[in-house]
Structure 1
Amino acid sequence: MPKPPETHKVADIEVVGNFDLPAKELLRFFPVKPGQKIDPNALRRAAGLLQRQLQANGYLYAHIDSVKLERGGQNNGARIFIYGASGRLVKFGAIKVVADSLSPEEYQSELSIRAGEPFAKNRIDEGIQRILRLAADKGFPFAEASIDSARIINRKGQFSVAVKIAVHEHQPVFIKDILIRGNTYTKDRVILRELDLFPGMRYSERKIAKVVEQLNRLNIFKSVNEPEILRVSPDSVLIRIDVEEGNATLFNGVVGYIPETAKTALGKSGGYFTGLIDLAFRNLFGTGRKFMVHWKKADRYSEDFNFSYSEPWVFNFPVDLGLGLNRVVRDTTYIEWQNFIRGELRFFGHLKAILSVRKKTIIPDSAASHDLRLPLSDVWSGEAGIVYDTRDDLLNPRRGLYFRNSYSWGVKKITGPGYLIREDSLTTRDVLQSVALDVEGYLPLWRNQVAAVAAHIRQIKGKQLSLGDYFWFGGSRTLRGYRENQFSAPLISWVNLEYRFLLNKNSRVFLFNDWGYYQQRSPAELKELLYGYGLGIRLETPLGILGVDYGLGKGDSFSRGKIHFGLVNTF
């Protein structure tokens, strides 16, 4: 069996020779550091690497003659001696770009090189790649660029390199057609209208690079491949995009019946139904239209029902219109009805405006009117806001930013009961104003690991606020480790911190830490800072994306943790 090579611990490193740069700076390029153990046979490779690093950083005439190792250094360690010379530092001189079609000044700015900076060949190579990307974005995808000449100039012992780069764009290229493959259900026009491309336009590398992101935002495809560029003539190309359609229809139903018992019969007759029904069409008739129905009844006293419909690209403009209806029964306290119409106008790829009109009706239980001073009321309101979204994927983003800010103004009309209006001296009309802010950020770290941060704020103001005007939070979508909608107040905020391990395109496991805060001043001052922590999973299944979170709230023991379970609905 061969004997392993002998290694030595490096105590110190000494530079011997004529070097123009300080030893400390030179040793930054040397791969061996004091304290490391090294095989003497590796010193030749280290010397070669040091010489190449010096030459790549402007010392074109650098040479390392030898690297020697001697025993008997500090603490019986080994000493390394580096022999050689750096030569004079060579800097960039004048850089000239000549081109056949586009302005040389446009290309010059892409180089990001200034005269007087240390010469580095790799910076020219990187600049040429940026030049070619610019040419491709301007309609010349088959352009060529290379160093036409490079002259070393010596002026009074100062060395510089004058470089001339030649760009040959050839003839401009146009898109002859765009071919979509794999869409057996979705209509071609639904896909093509999302792109910044159309037949007859000049080729644009930047717009083609956005195709995958733009189609993923539709949230109807399982996968979208990078576009293929097929040259069909010297001046035209065919763009081919392969897609795989996902399951755009979701149905999930669980219904149970709780029979009458001695406990359930108190004050009520008979048993009752519980359950959950989700029905969603995210690509109705292959047109991109969306329709959703949701019903949830957790117990005898609570119920949640909502319906919504969205029509995209109204009259072939980038305008989406939607309408919906919500009905919420809050634990026998009151029934809330909401009807709304909303619109979204896309200005640019990532920016859009939102507008909505909403009517909300609060119908309180008689006990809630008396004990909680909750009046019967109608609120008509309008909302305006902006959304900026650069996330690379809506379901499982790797990177990007989401920002939403809106302002709402409404008129609240109190219609009863009469005794409450008289006893509390309520006016029948009140003006309500509210703001909402949502910010999310996603940062890729190591392979398939993402840090996610989200912050949310809601606030409403009015002279006669009541429970029906408050914001509710807690549970799987806001503050995990607590019951669904456990807290309510006119001012709420929460922060979600997650460290995610991505399993595939739509699946992940993660650790989370949530923080929440709420505050109200009437009828009594009340505020509290909350926190929750735990772990969760999002797993893609044939029925949809299954979500399970286990969270612990403030003061919870392990046995009192909350499990949040459901199918993720992105409609």
Structure 2
Amino acid sequence: MIGRIILLMLVAFSGEAAREAAADGAPPGRTLVLGGTEFRGNHSLASAYLLDQLASRPGDPLDSAAMERDLAAVSLAYARNGHPHAAITPAEFRMESDSVRRVISIDEGPRVTVAGLRFSGNRTTKHRVMARLTGLAAPAAFDSRRVELAVKRLVKSGLFASALPPHLEASPGAGPGEEVLVFTVMERPYHGLYGAVGYSQPEGSERGWLAGALSLSLSNIAGTARAFKLDWERPRRENSRLELGYTEPWVLGYPLSAELGAGHRVEDSSYVQTRASALLVVSLGENFSAGFGGGLERVVPGTSQSVGRSLKYSSLWQLRADLRNDDRMGTGLWASTRLEYGRKRYSRPEAQHTLARVWGDAGFLARVWRRLFAYTGLHGRAVSSGEHPVPRPDQFPLGGAGSLRGYFEEQFVADQVAWGTAELRLAADRALSFHPFWDAGYYWDGGRGQRGIRHGYGLGFRLETRIGRVAVDYGLGRDDGLMDGKIHLLLVSEF
């Protein structure tokens, strides 16, 4: 907190007051109470307003801890009203019968106007981007509440590993009371690259094929907070997936972000799916946001002709809540939900169906003891369609590193899937952590008569290195022996 609190008491206030009371004839050992509070030197803030800020009320026991809390409350009131340099000191104590009346002296100092913003530590992020992230405008009267909120916004943006409490500096040539607010940040690696590529050559004269996965993430392009993501995967010759995403943080300079996405998926001889989406996201306060947009999806049948040719138009709706703290581990609660509602049209034979798909996710991380943290996550997906059974392109997968560990990627596909996870994370140091985990999942496919409950458990670790992050989970599924588990590996190079 910007501001100074000067306590001119070398011994506990209760002891001083007790001696003064004894000198005035009050019985020794009696608990002293507060009779009233006066302020001296306050010109900008009325005494009635300052009295409302105090935790102590007439008749409350009076001790040094209560005195410190009240002085801090007065200092904070001045910092919130343009006087960050105010000095608050106890000046006088007077006995009145069996109570003590105190006088608090205030040196308000100059009324400060923030004439400008200055940032240090930002090697990549542009000044105008950081100023927009803080939500502060200059010139403006100093308000410690807005300053504290600006620090939280910088950390929550995800662009910085840390942001120190800012300080005020005099600006050369500035007028009386005009100062510059200086923020100091430490940037984090903005870009990530993960890749695993191999070439498979079957026996005989059959041509080989390229297999693997590639993930590229650019989260602060040219220091503008724009983001781009590319994911490509080809686990088998007949299957491939490509996902593209782009985020524009401020559309035409307004506090409105745009999220654009595109995807192309080939599922062996079943179908080829191509889709595109656009979502506009608006902030609803500091911790909530809402999005709305639309999507287009085309499905072309493969040689098996098991899926019909279709075109789907849909509207997209989204709500997000992020109540996590701005500490290094990100403790706290987050949640999101998304709804897709649209019409699906078939050309051969001609038909139309209404389709609704829902996503729901939530997670909570809490500190149990020092470096020990507990994490719980809940996730659900569901589709409602006029088609029976629901076609595979509209269903949801379950299994693998992102959902149910101990099982193969997308081992189950169904109309409804849900899974939960519980982890106990031990941070050995800032770079290394271990976590035993337990996952439970449920899937239901009404059209095909499939339903099941599965669980997986195991052990994993996370390691932060100078060149990137390594994450390994070893999971065991139902009926798996100790050596029959699945290894879920993630290698991300950050730059």
The two structures share one fold, judged by TM-score above 0.5: yes
State whether structure 2 residue 191 is matched by structure 1 residue 255. no
Amino acid at match of 2:76: R
> How does 1:158-237 map onto structure 2 within 5 Å?
159-232=98-171, 235-237=177-179
Residue 382 of structure 1 corresponds to: 315
Hey, what's the Cα distance between the residues in 2 that align with 1:296 and 1:508? 28
The Cα shift of 1:244 comes to: 3.9
Structure with more contact order per residue of length (Cα contacts < 8 Å, sep ≥ 6) = 2
Out of 470, 477, 484, the residue aligned to residue 560 of structure 1 is 484
Residues 250, 543 of structure 1: 8 Å contact kept: no
Amino acid at match of 1:529: I
> How does 1:3-42 map onto structure 2 within 5 Å?
none
Measured against aligned partners, the alpha-carbon deviations of 1:70-101 in whole angstroms (never above 9, x if no partner) come to xxxxxxxxxxxxxxx99334444444556321
Out of 45, 52, 55, the residue aligned to residue 112 of structure 1 is 55
Taking a change above 3 Å as real, the CA distance of residues 499 and 568 of structure 1, as seen in their structure-2 partners, is farther
Amino acid at match of 1:186: T
Out of 240, 243, 246, the residue aligned to residue 185 of structure 2 is 243
Segments of 5+ residues of structure 1 without an aligned counterpart are: 1-51, 62-84, 419-426
- What secondary structure sits across from 1:219 in the alignment? coil
Residue 405 of structure 1 corresponds to: 337
The Cα shift of 1:400 comes to: 2.7
Hey, what's the Cα distance between the residues in 1 that align with 2:246 and 2:136? 28
Query: Over the residues paired in the alignment, what is the CA RMSD in angstroms?
Result: 3.2
Residues 134, 151 of structure 2: 8 Å contact kept: no
Taking a change above 3 Å as real, the CA distance of residues 558 and 146 of structure 1, as seen in their structure-2 partners, is same
Residue 460 of structure 2 corresponds to: 536
Residue 76 of structure 1 corresponds to: none
- What secondary structure sits across from 1:528 in the alignment? strand
> How does 1:278-317 map onto structure 2 within 5 Å?
278-317=215-254
The Cα shift of 1:166 comes to: 4.1
Residues 97, 108 of structure 1: 8 Å contact kept: no
The Cα shift of 1:485 comes to: 1.7
The Cα shift of 1:452 comes to: 2.1
Segments of 5+ residues of structure 2 without an aligned counterpart are: 1-10, 20-26
Residues 398, 444 of structure 1: 8 Å contact kept: no
State whether structure 2 residue 392 is matched by structure 1 residue 467. yes
Taking a change above 3 Å as real, the CA distance of residues 243 and 430 of structure 1, as seen in their structure-2 partners, is same
Hey, what's the Cα distance between the residues in 2 that align with 1:323 and 1:459? 23
Taking a change above 3 Å as real, the CA distance of residues 509 and 379 of structure 1, as seen in their structure-2 partners, is same
- What secondary structure sits across from 1:460 in the alignment? strand
Taking a change above 3 Å as real, the CA distance of residues 87 and 344 of structure 1, as seen in their structure-2 partners, is same
Hey, what's the Cα distance between the residues in 2 that align with 1:105 and 1:547? 58
Hey, what's the Cα distance between the residues in 2 that align with 1:352 and 1:318? 11
Count of residues in correspondence between the two structures: 471
Residue 512 of structure 1 corresponds to: 437
Hey, what's the Cα distance between the residues in 2 that align with 1:312 and 1:304? 26
Measured against aligned partners, the alpha-carbon deviations of 1:137-158 in whole angstroms (never above 9, x if no partner) come to 221111122334434444xxxx
The Cα shift of 1:569 comes to: 9.3
Taking a change above 3 Å as real, the CA distance of residues 151 and 252 of structure 1, as seen in their structure-2 partners, is same
Measured against aligned partners, the alpha-carbon deviations of 1:221-242 in whole angstroms (never above 9, x if no partner) come to 4554442332457613222223
Taking a change above 3 Å as real, the CA distance of residues 125 and 521 of structure 1, as seen in their structure-2 partners, is same
State whether structure 2 residue 65 is matched by structure 1 residue 133. no
State whether structure 2 residue 67 is matched by structure 1 residue 124. yes
Measured against aligned partners, the alpha-carbon deviations of 1:506-535 in whole angstroms (never above 9, x if no partner) come to 7533232222222232232x4333222222
Out of 126, 141, 144, the residue aligned to residue 87 of structure 2 is 144
Residue 31 of structure 1 corresponds to: none
The Cα shift of 1:102 comes to: 1.9
Taking a change above 3 Å as real, the CA distance of residues 223 and 148 of structure 1, as seen in their structure-2 partners, is closer
- What secondary structure sits across from 2:152 in the alignment? helix
Hey, what's the Cα distance between the residues in 1 that align with 2:154 and 2:245? 23
Amino acid at match of 1:238: V
Hey, what's the Cα distance between the residues in 1 that align with 2:460 and 2:52? 48
Measured against aligned partners, the alpha-carbon deviations of 1:123-144 in whole angstroms (never above 9, x if no partner) come to 2211221221232122111112
Measured against aligned partners, the alpha-carbon deviations of 1:269-310 in whole angstroms (never above 9, x if no partner) come to 422211122223222222222222221112223222111222
Hey, what's the Cα distance between the residues in 1 that align with 2:400 and 2:49? 54
Residues 338, 360 of structure 1: 8 Å contact kept: yes
- What secondary structure sits across from 2:197 in the alignment? strand
Residues 481, 551 of structure 1: 8 Å contact kept: yes
Amino acid at match of 2:71: I
TM-score, structure 1 as length reference: 0.74
Hey, what's the Cα distance between the residues in 1 that align with 2:239 and 2:18? 78
The Cα shift of 1:340 comes to: 0.9
Taking a change above 3 Å as real, the CA distance of residues 176 and 462 of structure 1, as seen in their structure-2 partners, is same
Residue 522 of structure 1 corresponds to: 447
Residue 485 of structure 1 corresponds to: 410
Residue 451 of structure 1 corresponds to: 374
